[in-house]
Structure 1
Amino acid sequence: MNTELRPQERIFVALDYANMDDALRMAEQLGDTIKTMKVGLQLFFNSGPQILHRLHEMGFQVFMDCKFHDIPNTVAGASDSVTQHGVYMFNVHCAGGVEMMKRAKEAALKRAESMGILVPKLIGVTQLTSTSQEMLNAEIGVPGDVQSSVIHYAKLAQQAGLDGVVASGHEIEAIRTACGDDFVTVIPGIRPTWAASDDQKRIMTPKEALQAGAHYLVIGRAITHAADPKAAALRILEEV
């Protein structure tokens, strides 16, 4: 189990809202319980970079979850741009290949150094937690099991110099075996025992994920859809 981070630094709250006002209201409700907010595609495309700066002004770190996947030059440009906004972490799809991931990392490093800011953590997306075995084989057309695909992508991400990967909690131990304990794992699909699983297939409780060695947990609806979001966040922090 990774013990270097405090509980409030391990959890990213997924602000899956359609507009900035609702997202900021939720962040304000959570106060100082959680340190990092995750901004995904819907919120970012509705609010633009302003949401990143507003959250920073409120004292939060930001994980920008827009999963870049394009030709290497385009992704390098996107990495340069997002780094300028001072995000704590952002991600790319491992399926884009080693060259794409390398260029993304190089662009982030160069921009951060030129601005004198911290280099954002760059994380590779392996397989989405909504991907079942049947979907992987029959729809996506990738043979073998989900875990084998995840480990393959994790090794490519490490080869490219990325800081870690996004994966299901069920792959944490295999990733640690393949890539080492210091290779960062960001785990979505986290559901406390008292929360519904919704549309994600490969889920795990916060305690189980951390005991398996996860570095960061992404938690959305279990907190943001709770009757009392702050109380739900504190309950999860107590569990971890």
Structure 2
Amino acid sequence: MNPRDRLIFALDVDNADEAEDLVRLLAPEVGVFKVGLELFVAAGPSVVERVRRAGARAIFLDLKLHDIPATMRAAARAAAGLGVDLITCHADQAGIFADMDLGGAKLLGVTVLTSLGSQELKAMGYPPELQDPQALVLRRASLALAAGCAGVVCSGLEAAAVRKVLGLQAFIVCPGIRPASGEVHDQKRVMTPERAIAAGASHIVVGRPIRTADDPPAAARAMAAGIAEGLAQRPPA
């Protein structure tokens, strides 16, 4: 897999025209484009086709499905019908999809958002043994594996431990990626692209560090170079 194919760019904008412009600009440098809640709600399901026509080779529909079973199954069926490549649900509900055929779409279980740390988990009422984000990530990764998910979403800080649980073939998609000198913004658990990939991530998700750069294509190429460096640091399988 080419390093750029492991780079997921987050189209975190509020209109389809801007999303299309970003795809045209970055398609030569990015393997996967992520359509998240902001863009999907603002522009509707048709934005997926617009992103595809603008040049996206693969599309990650990141809606983090979390609802009653009937609603989640219907939403997943509709998402798969859009022809996307990756779909997310919250890992603790992944079992709802265990018997579903999602066509060519792969299901990823979201473990713990990268904006959450120990203090947030404590405030949310998790018991002491699950206030360490990695402990909760590993529990939810196991649930996702048992449900037949293709992989999980977690921070790079947990990638090595999750890789041991999920095995060599699983997708481990890591958001919260920042260059060494980059702003953290609203993230709590962050990592550089090199370290995340070296630790076992299969893909990294990058938004603001590319989108707000003076030269977004150059920033994307720098992320791909970091991916290549991380791959070179991995021990032999």
TM over 0.5: yes
Q: Is 2:23–2:55's contact at 8 Å kept on the other side of the alignment?
A: no
The residue type equivalent to 1:102 in the other structure is: A
Residue aligning to 1:52 = 48
Look up the SS of the partner of 1:218 in the other structure: strand
Residue aligning to 1:153 = 140
The residue type equivalent to 1:54 in the other structure is: R
Residue aligning to 1:82 = 79
Q: Is 1:89–1:122's contact at 8 Å kept on the other side of the alignment?
A: yes
Q: Is 1:136–1:143's contact at 8 Å kept on the other side of the alignment?
A: no
Residue aligning to 2:230 = none
Q: Is 1:16–1:220's contact at 8 Å kept on the other side of the alignment?
A: yes
The residue type equivalent to 1:9 in the other structure is: D
C-alpha change, 1:39 and 1:71, in structure 2 (3 Å) is same
Match of 1:93 among 67, 90, 95: 90
Q: CA offset at residue 107 of structure 1? A: 4.0
Q: CA offset at residue 187 of structure 1? A: 0.2
| Structure 1: 5+ residue stretches without partners | 113-118
Q: Is 1:190–1:206's contact at 8 Å kept on the other side of the alignment?
A: yes
Residue aligning to 2:27 = 31
Alignment: residue pair count: 224
Q: CA offset at residue 140 of structure 1? A: 4.3
Q: CA offset at residue 189 of structure 1? A: 0.3
C-alpha change, 1:150 and 1:21, in structure 2 (3 Å) is same
Look up the SS of the partner of 2:107 in the other structure: strand
Look up the SS of the partner of 2:152 in the other structure: strand
Alignment partner of 1:223 is 2:210: yes
Residue aligning to 1:116 = none
Look up the SS of the partner of 1:39 in the other structure: strand
The residue type equivalent to 1:125 in the other structure is: V
Q: Is 1:92–1:101's contact at 8 Å kept on the other side of the alignment?
A: no
Moved over 6 A (4+): none
Q: CA offset at residue 142 of structure 1? A: 4.4
| Structure 2: 5+ residue stretches without partners | 228-237
Instruction: Give a deviation string over 1:79-116, Cα, whole Å, max 9, x none.
Output: 11011111010100013252x2425xx141xxx2xxxx
Match of 2:219 among 220, 225, 232: 232
Alignment partner of 1:19 is 2:4: no
Residue aligning to 2:235 = none
Q: What is the CA–CA distance in structure 2 between the aligned matches of 1:183 and 1:38, rounded to whole Å?
A: 19
Alignment partner of 1:169 is 2:156: yes
Look up the SS of the partner of 2:149 in the other structure: coil
Q: Is 1:77–1:107's contact at 8 Å kept on the other side of the alignment?
A: no
Residue aligning to 2:67 = 70
C-alpha change, 1:49 and 1:212, in structure 2 (3 Å) is same
Root-mean-square deviation (Å): 1.3
Q: What is the CA–CA distance in structure 2 between the aligned matches of 1:163 and 1:222, rounded to whole Å?
A: 27
Q: What is the CA–CA distance in structure 1 between the aligned matches of 2:200 and 2:125, rounded to whole Å?
A: 29
Q: What is the CA–CA distance in structure 2 between the aligned matches of 1:142 and 1:12, rounded to whole Å?
A: 33
The residue type equivalent to 2:86 in the other structure is: M
Instruction: Give a deviation string over 1:141-200, Cα, whole Å, max 9, x none.
Output: 343211111000000000000101000101111111222122210000001113211110
